[in-house]
């Protein structure tokens, strides 16, 4: 036990009291909380005190950032964007075709989706580095979720129409979330959830590519490990060694170029050009050797021309509308989380800010427009954006350059892809997706936070052994359960005094921290709500009983100090808990003291009259002040009633 004198500060220090903040109208408080939740950046501020035409211009600039930067656009900046746009186009064309095949959609849709959506994003997006296009995980989600209800082989037209409808719903969700300023919903997908989910999806995508790598004609539509392995090994007699050898060679080439570009960042273009090079070499090889007659499957005919309209292809009839809605919601959220995370990452590198809600509106608009122009779900993929960033892009104009390059391809070059082997597309997908398996992040989660690792592992196993939706549901459920447990069972700790100071710290963390004789100091490390009020009352009671038992025959427990510095908010159940603790301490002859209560706690205490019951003289600014006052009273008792000038 530490000495009481060492814990006492100067007399003038511990006589400070905590004032009750002035009353504030409920509507003002409610309005301020809403503003902080939905409008922390106060986008309305710039419209105040402006004329009508000026407000219109500012509104257009808010939703169309291109109006803001286009007037100052220069030829030198365009040169950088031109190089970056051509570079990402060389990656977008083979990736677009590959991911469309992954979604069980016609390959031409991958090119369509790299033409219209980037143009929309260039006008509405606030990121300078994001390169828009299709991505692997949403493509897999579309294939797995729609494939359960509609066979892309037996009814390709219906499957295509429902895919367009799902894209429309995804865009509608994204735009709505952005307009309603609900971007914080995406934050419920924790880092551990994303790591496990992406790794599981990457594993499933790689397994799905065994169909192309082995030249199989028939393959399961399920995505779980058991179903895929059954489908692969039940068709051993149909394996084509030609496809396997060709696929392994191109996969090796892609991985080597990727490794080289990582080791030599200035040669990033080597990895970026590798997919298009693989498509070119693979097509030439098949054309010269007639490998399509020896088991090597090819893309076949791709029609020329720009995106045909698909507004009349959207289907809103039962039961397909519910399938499209469910698919749109899940794929829309995943695409939104990936796109915003990628945009923020590169914005941080270049030290500029992007508005998450504006990005959501941009993503939603480009997907809704895309669903009406024969495109499927797009977002900002990391691989393409990284190439765009490394290529030296300056503005979103690089997306326009990429779109023009894809347009030229659609108008004149699509026949060149006739002999592109499907196995090369499989190799491109595997090479691009393997980077999503971030085992180093999983190891770091294990070392730092075991519960986060369980979230990550749950997401991974759910995706690999069940389905993509199952994995996502497991990960989100575990994350929400953790939040609920934290709220329902907040930590309470005993504080002790650091010798020769007025600092009070946790005794289980600081071995030097010494408890104060006759005083129990507890800290509550969370807001106090109805969900944890009963638990806290019981936990405080146990602390008191344990302290009373341990101090028998000594000074005895005479003061209970609650440090409320971490209690940011409290409800009526929490106030009732404090009132019950006060009654409990009164029955046992212990004085109840509060330290460092926040403004909301003080307002609630004052409004509920609990402040009068506790006594304003027993509410202190710091724990040191409270201990000093309690210590002074203990000294007065020891002096058999002698007066103490520092006593309350």
pLDDT at residue 554, as a whole number: 54
Radius of gyration of the chain (CA): 32
Q: How confident is the model at residue 42 (pLDDT cuts 50, 70, 90)?
A: low
Instruction: Report CA torsion sign: 119, 124, 128, 131.
Output: negative
Q: Is residue 356 part of a domain?
A: yes
User: How far apart are the C-alpha atoms of 17 and 176, rounded to whole Å?
Assistant: 48
DSSP 622: S
Query: Which residue do the tokens 């084509």 mark?
Result: 240
User: How far apart are the C-alpha atoms of 580 and 574, rounded to whole Å?
Assistant: 10
Q: Is residue 458 part of a domain?
A: no
Q: Is residue 644 part of a domain?
A: no
pLDDT surpassing 50 at residue 12: no
**209 closest CA partner among 484, 436, 434:** 434
First to last CA, the chain: 25
* Shared domain check, 519 and 403: no
pLDDT surpassing 70 at residue 51: no
pLDDT surpassing 90 at residue 262: no
346 by DSSP, 3-state: which? helix
* Shared domain check, 275 and 211: yes
493 by DSSP, 3-state: which? strand
User: How far apart are the C-alpha atoms of 291 and 241, rounded to whole Å?
Assistant: 12
User: How far apart are the C-alpha atoms of 433 and 440, rounded to whole Å?
Assistant: 16
Beta pairing class for 619-620 and 519-524: unpaired
pLDDT at residue 411, as a whole number: 93
The size of the chain, in residues, is 648
Q: What is the pLDDT of residues 94-149, one digit of tens each?
A: 889 989 988 999 999 999 999 999 999 999 988 988 999 998 888 988 988 898 88
Q: pLDDT higher for 404 or 67?
A: 404
Q: pLDDT higher for 61 or 579?
A: 579
Q: What is the pLDDT of residues 444-461, one digit of tens each?
A: 999 998 888 888 888 889
pLDDT surpassing 60 at residue 92: yes
Q: Is residue 42 part of a domain?
A: no
Domain boundary among 382, 409, 429: 429
- Mean pLDDT value across the chain: 83
Q: What is the pLDDT of residues 236-248, one digit of tens each?
A: 888 888 888 888 9
Q: Is residue 406 part of a domain?
A: yes
* Shared domain check, 609 and 494: yes
Lowest mean pLDDT of 8-22, 30-44, 132-146, 553-567, name the range: 8-22
Is the CB of residue 93 less than 8 Å from the CB of residue 412? no
Cβ neighbours of residue 329 closer than 8 Å, sequence gap 6 or more: 169, 170, 173
Is the CB of residue 581 less than 8 Å from the CB of residue 550? no
* Shared domain check, 320 and 192: yes
Q: pLDDT higher for 636 or 452?
A: 452
Q: Is residue 56 part of a domain?
A: no
Q: What is the pLDDT of residues 211-237, one digit of tens each?
A: 888 888 777 767 778 888 888 888 888
* Shared domain check, 91 and 15: no
pLDDT surpassing 90 at residue 55: no
Domain extent at residue 91: 74-429
Q: Is residue 54 part of a domain?
A: no
User: How far apart are the C-alpha atoms of 212 and 208, rounded to whole Å?
Assistant: 8
pLDDT at residue 643, as a whole number: 41
pLDDT at residue 188, as a whole number: 67
Beta bridge partners of 595: 563, 620
* % pLDDT > 90, the chain: 25
Q: Is residue 472 part of a domain?
A: no
Is the CB of residue 594 less than 8 Å from the CB of residue 618? yes
As a whole number, mean pLDDT of residues 453-478 equals: 83
Q: What is the pLDDT of residues 391-435, one digit of tens each?
A: 888 899 999 999 999 999 999 988 888 888 888 888 888 888 887
Domain boundary among 410, 429, 448: 429
* Shared domain check, 421 and 549: no
pLDDT at residue 204, as a whole number: 83
* Shared domain check, 336 and 258: yes
423 by DSSP, 3-state: which? helix
Q: Report DSSP letters for 269-295, one per residue.
A: HHHHHHHHHHHHHHHHHHHHHTGGGGT
* Shared domain check, 396 and 500: no
**Based on the structure, what is the number of domains in the chain?**
2
User: How far apart are the C-alpha atoms of 132 and 391, rounded to whole Å?
Assistant: 15
Side-chain half-sphere exposure of 609, counting CA atoms within 13 A? 0
Cα-based angle 634, 615, 618 (whole degrees, multiple of 5): 40
- pTM over 0.85? The answer is no
pLDDT at residue 644, as a whole number: 41
* Shared domain check, 551 and 407: no
User: How far apart are the C-alpha atoms of 436 and 576, rounded to whole Å?
Assistant: 50
Domain boundary among 402, 429, 456: 429
* Shared domain check, 78 and 15: no
pLDDT at residue 522, as a whole number: 93
Here the CATH number for the domain that contains residue 633 is 3.30.750.24
User: How far apart are the C-alpha atoms of 339 and 171, rounded to whole Å?
Assistant: 13
Q: What is the pLDDT of residues 535-572, one digit of tens each?
A: 999 999 998 888 887 766 555 788 999 999 888 889 89
Helices (H), 372-416: 382-390, 397-408
């Amino acid at each position: 036990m530490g000495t009481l004198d060492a814990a006492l500060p100067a007399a003038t220090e511990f006589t400070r009291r905590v004032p009750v903040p002035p009353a504030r109208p409920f509507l003002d408080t409610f309005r301020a909380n809403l503003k902080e939740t939905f409008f922390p950046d106060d986008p309305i501020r710039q419209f105040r005190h402006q004329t009508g035409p000026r407000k219109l211009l500012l509104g257009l600039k808010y939703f169309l950032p291109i109006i803001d930067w286009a007037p100052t656009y220069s030829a030198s900046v365009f040169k950088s964007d031109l190089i970056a746009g051509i570079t990402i186009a060389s990656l977008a064309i083979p990736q677009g075709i590959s991911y469309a095949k992954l979604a069980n959609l016609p390959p031409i849709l991958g090119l369509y989706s790299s033409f219209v959506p980037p143009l929309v994003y260039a006008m509405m997006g606030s990121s300078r580095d994001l390169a828009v296009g299709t991505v692997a995980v949403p493509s897999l989600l579309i294939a797995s979720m729609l494939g359960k209800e509609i066979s892309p082989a037996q009814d390709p037209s219906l499957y295509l129409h429902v895919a367009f409808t799902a894209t429309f719903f995804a865009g509608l969700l994204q735009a709505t979330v952005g307009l309603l300023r609900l971007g914080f919903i995406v934050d419920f997908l924790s880092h551990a959830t994303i790591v496990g989910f992406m790794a599981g999806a990457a594993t499933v995508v790689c397994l799905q590519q065994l169909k192309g790598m082995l030249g199989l004609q028939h393959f399961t539509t399920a995505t779980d490990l058991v179903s895929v392995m059954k489908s692969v090994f039940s068709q051993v007699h149909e394996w084509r060694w030609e496809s396997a050898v060709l696929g392994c060679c191109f996969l090796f080439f892609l991985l080597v170029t990727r490794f080289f570009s990582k080791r030599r960042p200035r040669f990033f273009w080597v990895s970026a050009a590798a997919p298009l090079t693989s498509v070119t070499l693979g097509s030439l090889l098949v054309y010269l050797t007639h490998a399509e007659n020896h088991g090597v499957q090819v893309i076949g005919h791709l029609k020329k021309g720009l995106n045909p309209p698909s507004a009349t292809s959207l289907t809103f009839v039962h039961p397909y509308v519910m399938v499209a809605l469910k698919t749109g919601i899940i794929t829309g959220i995943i695409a939104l989380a990936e796109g915003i995370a990628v945009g923020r990452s590169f914005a941080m590198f270049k030290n500029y800010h992007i508005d998450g809600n504006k990005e959501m509106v941009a993503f939603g608009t480009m997907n809704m427009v895309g669903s009406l122009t024969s495109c499927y779900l797009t977002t900002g993929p990391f691989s393409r954006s990284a190439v765009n960033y490394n290529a030296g892009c300056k503005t979103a104009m690089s997306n326009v350059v990429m779109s023009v390059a894809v347009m030229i391809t659609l108008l004149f070059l699509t026949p060149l892809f006739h002999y592109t082997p499907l196995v090369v597309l499989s190799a491109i997908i595997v090479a691009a997706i393997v980077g999503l398996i971030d085992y180093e992040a999983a190891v770091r989660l294990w070392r730092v936070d075991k519960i986060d690792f369980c979230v990550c592992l749950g997401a991974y196993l759910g995706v690999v052994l069940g389905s993509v939706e199952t994995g996502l549901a497991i990960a989100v459920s575990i994350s929400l359960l953790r939040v609920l447990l934290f709220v329902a069972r907040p930590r309470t700790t005993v504080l002790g005094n650091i010798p020769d100071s007025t600092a009070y710290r946790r005794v289980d963390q600081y071995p030097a921290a010494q408890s104060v004789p006759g005083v129990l100091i507890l800290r509550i490390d969370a807001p106090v709500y109805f969900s944890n009020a009963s638990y806290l009352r019981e936990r405080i009671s146990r602390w008191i009983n344990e302290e009373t038992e341990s101090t028998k025959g000594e000074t005895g427990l005479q003061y209970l100090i609650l440090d409320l510095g971490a209690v940011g908010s409290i409800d009526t159940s929490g106030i009732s808990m404090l009132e019950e603790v006060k009654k409990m301490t009164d029955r046992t002859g212990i004085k109840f003291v509060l330290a460092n209560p926040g403004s909301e706690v003080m307002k609630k205490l004052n409004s509920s009259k609990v402040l009068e019951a506790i006594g304003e003289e027993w509410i202190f600014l710091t724990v040191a002040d409270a201990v000093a006052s309690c210590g002074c009273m203990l000294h007065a008792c020891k002096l058999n009633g002698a007066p103490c000038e520092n006593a309350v």
